[in-house]
A and B are shown apart, each in its own frame.
Chain A
Amino acid sequence: DVKVTQSSRYLVKRTGEKVFLECVQDMDHENMFWYRQDPGLGLRLIYFSYDVKMKEKGDIPEGYSVSREKKERFSLILESASTNQTSMYLCASSLTLHQPQHFGDGTRLSIL
């Protein structure tokens, strides 16, 4: 089974802090994704990566950046956290563009 692991289940940070969310997958998947999930808005794609050191903006990249230095790890960075970035963050991976996406358990991030 595919295992996608997000480093934290719950995280509380302060406004202005730099925040790192980590995601690791163990199945040598090419593609990795970061989403945020908000009530009434569903899941929205922030960034994705289709190879090491490659990244593409999703629908809502503002205020975020990403890093993929190794194939198995995809990091989401909040450069200067703001209260409107309080949300559930979900990481996913897929073997190829045509295969199902597999999700981690999510990180519930609160910015105070």
Chain B
Amino acid sequence: KQEVTQIPAALSVPEGENLVLNCSFTDSAIYNLQWFRQDPGKGLTSLLLIQSSQREQTSGRLNASLDKSSGRSTLYIAASQPGDSATYLCAVRQEGGATNKLIFGTGTLLAVQP
């Protein structure tokens, strides 16, 4: 059974720092991996999606990498800003499934201090 883990559960950094969020999964047979952002009391906003054949994806100050064989993904945020404060979730979609079922980690709560 696929398990997705995000460590640390919470992170606090000063504004301007570069930071890395981690996501690990136990079954490497994934179709893709998606990173989301969730603001308090809100839904999820899709940030980046990496297909299993890709190594990384970039969007602005965000860069997500995927090492499928070792079951790891990282989300790199450059020059962090207070507006980046949110919970970041990763989710994997299994290979071979007939559905688009995502399996989520429990998230990392990020606080960027001004």
Interface residues of A in 82-102 (CB under 8 A from B): 90, 92, 94, 96-102
**A4 CA to B34 CA, complexed, in Å:** 18
* A35-75 contact mask (Cβ, 8 Å, vs B): 1 or 0: 00000111101001010000010100000000000000000
Interface size of B as a range: 20 to 34
Cross-chain contact A103 with B99 (CB below 8 angstroms)? no
Minimum CB–CB distance from B92 to chain A (whole Å) comes to 12
B contacts with A: majority SS: strand
Chain A hits for B32, CB < 8 A:
98
Interface size of A as a range: 20 to 34
Chain B hits for A45, CB < 8 A:
101-102
Q: A31 in the interface, Cβ–Cβ < 8 Å?
A: yes
State the B residues within 8 Å of A (CB): 31-32, 34, 36, 41-46, 49, 89, 91, 98-102, 104-107
State the A residues within 8 Å of B (CB): 4, 6, 31, 33, 40-43, 45, 48, 50, 56, 58, 90, 92, 94, 96-106, 108
